[in-house]
Amino acid sequence: MKKTLSLVLCLCLVLSLFAACGGKTAEPAKPADNGPAQAPSAPSAPGTPSAPSEATPAPAVSGSTSSSGEVKKAAEYKDTFVIGGLTGATGIDPQTYSSDYYGAQLVYDPLLTNKDGEFQPALATEWEKTDDYTYVFKLRKDVTFQDGSKFTADDVVYTFGERMLEVPGNTTAGKLKCIEKVEAVDDYTVKFTLNSLNQDFLLFMAQPYSAIFSRKACASGENGFWIGTGPWKISNFVPGIKIEYERYDGFWGELPKPSKMAYVCYPEDAARLVAVQSGEVDCALTVSGANEEIENDKTIRGVKVRDVGVFMCCFNTKDPICGDLNFRKAVAYAIDYDELIDAAGADSVEPVSTFWGYGSYGENKELQGYHYDLEKAKEYIAQSNYDGSTISIMCFIPTNVLNATVIVERLADIGVNAVVDERDFMGIITNTSFANPQHQMLCFNSSFGVSPDDAVRAVFYTGGSSNRAAFSDPELDAKIDAALVEPDSAKREAIYQEIQKFNEDNVLYIPLDRSLYFCVEGLNASGIVWSSRNAYHNFRYACVAIP
């Protein structure tokens, strides 16, 4: 009896090992179609959009929308759509939390939306730039908040006025520093007066963090800011774990198909993938390390997304060695970019020639980028003031560590001693800021800003929030300022292209490669708008058809 028990135990262990190692027999999945996005239903009446000079969202590699295409009217749909998230939302308020905007896009509406580079009406039906500093928005009259109260111009005044001052750590206030005054002209007309010219103002107004809050609801209680004008109302929030939503049937636009929605955090990639495969969730965000399995599994659909940001290597220009242009050029030519791609996997990254967001407004497509040239690298290192000391390359997260490791090996070929200095997130933030640059080189991934000004100001401007090169040049600062106020779109674009060329010539940030990642959805899922900006995937009209 006891012997049998022992044998059964051993058998169980062996079986569990087989379960882990066994592969699923699967036929290759069909490539995803490029079906139309189930985008928020915007009213057909066009506004009076001024010519926008916004950054165009970059497309996903194989279809940025859920591939089932149009939802057939006769079909039935699952009552609840579940999103398997990578990180748990720590908060709801889009004016305070800047990590992701999945929830914000479900619950709230901004005045405008930005679809393929064109502004579309949302809560505003028309808008007009009356002079360089003044914008007037006409608002929809048929909108109610999820508590049933009417949406009026006063709520816009509250959102961009008092609320930005009264909520501590309001990051939207940081982005919209250009607003001098917001006034309600009447119940459905609102006027913004700017304190400085800003060509990205309308673009900011079309972002999820410019969502409109209800003055009445916010004043009524602790969670009043949960109330928006969108089609989904928050019914339950467990910070860091999940958010549950119920459909708001008083929504002014087209209603979503399911009556409930949930965002549930599955921190482990494998668990998140299994959750889609088993039908526990209907889609999963960014599943890493399982590209082949996703492509071969016929029960799910992988949507390959090209990240808008790039992996980069930068130099602290205040460092005596890295501040030398010859040293920086030597490094740029010593890096074998193909080797970096091979190391990460050709299906995980792709080559880049500029740090600019893929397909974004202002991209300089004529740049060739750097290429591996050992002889040139040796020439430059001989001219540099490199003194034989050990150069440290700070990094954080596996891809950057991998990049740094490969770079260290190539630098050895030109006689540069370098080491990988892996830090945690806080170590990177505190040691590579403009004010306190303790690093020499840094491998990091940049998230390209929503607006071109956001992007260049952060990395090049004196004191910029992501100026990891500790670079300061009054002339470049002036150029960045000039681009922000330049009304001629072509001239503005030319300035941004010039800045990219400046970076290439001065080797401040070396673009290494761009990440390609998979998001996964069930075969019957549709209506998801996958974005190259990880934080901007839109699930407002996501649904699962019942076959």
Alpha-carbon distance 265 to 321, whole Å? Answer: 44
Cβ distance to other proteins smaller for residue 82 or 331: 82
Cβ distance to other proteins smaller for residue 20 or 490: 20
CB of 274 to other proteins, least distance (A): 5
What's the sign of the alpha-carbon dihedral 217, 218, 219, 224? Answer: positive
Cβ distance to other proteins smaller for residue 7 or 185: 7
CB of 176 to other proteins, least distance (A): 9
Cβ distance to other proteins smaller for residue 18 or 44: 18
Cβ distance to other proteins smaller for residue 174 or 487: 174
CB of 66 to other proteins, least distance (A): 22
What one-letter code names the amino acid at 180? E
Please measure the distance between the N-terminal and C-terminal CA atoms of the chain and give it in whole angstroms.
50
Q: Are 298 and 355 in contact (CB under 8 A)?
A: no
CA–CA distance from 154 to each of 123, 161, 445 (Å)?
13, 10, 40
Alpha-carbon distance 99 to 119, whole Å? Answer: 24
CB of 111 to other proteins, least distance (A): 19
Cβ distance to other proteins smaller for residue 253 or 357: 357
CB of 229 to other proteins, least distance (A): 23
- Neighbouring C-beta atoms of residue 390, cutoff 10 Å: 9
Q: Are 217 and 149 in contact (CB under 8 A)?
A: yes
CB of 17 to other proteins, least distance (A): 8
Cβ distance to other proteins smaller for residue 37 or 484: 484
CB of 85 to other proteins, least distance (A): 10
φ, ψ of residue 37 to 5 degrees: the values are -70, 140
CB of 276 to other proteins, least distance (A): 10
Cβ distance to other proteins smaller for residue 94 or 527: 94
283-287 and 543-546 beta bridge pairing:
unpaired
- CA angle 385–431–467, rounded 5-degree value: 75
What's the sign of the alpha-carbon dihedral 309, 310, 311, 314? Answer: negative
CA-based nearest residue to 403, from 289, 304, 310:
310
Q: Are 363 and 410 in contact (CB under 8 A)?
A: no
CB of 542 to other proteins, least distance (A): 19
Cβ distance to other proteins smaller for residue 435 or 490: 435
CB of 277 to other proteins, least distance (A): 6
Cβ distance to other proteins smaller for residue 12 or 374: 12
Alpha-carbon distance 330 to 316, whole Å? Answer: 15
Q: Are 492 and 486 in contact (CB under 8 A)?
A: yes
Alpha-carbon distance 243 to 230, whole Å? Answer: 15
CA-based nearest residue to 440, from 328, 310, 356:
328
Cβ distance to other proteins smaller for residue 6 or 130: 6
Cβ distance to other proteins smaller for residue 241 or 412: 241
φ, ψ of residue 174 to 5 degrees: the values are -65, -40
Q: Which residues bind other proteins (CB under 8 A)?
A: 2-3, 5-7, 9-10, 13, 15-17, 19-20, 88, 90-91, 93, 96, 98, 168-169, 171, 173-175, 177, 238-242, 264-268, 270-271, 274-275, 277-278, 280, 424-427, 429-431, 433, 435, 454, 463, 465-466
CB of 461 to other proteins, least distance (A): 12
In whole angstroms, how large is the CA radius of gyration of the chain?
25
φ, ψ of residue 333 to 5 degrees: the values are -85, -20
Q: Are 545 and 524 in contact (CB under 8 A)?
A: yes
Alpha-carbon distance 528 to 521, whole Å? Answer: 9
CA–CA distance from 136 to each of 40, 92, 153, 489 (Å)?
23, 29, 11, 21
CB of 523 to other proteins, least distance (A): 16
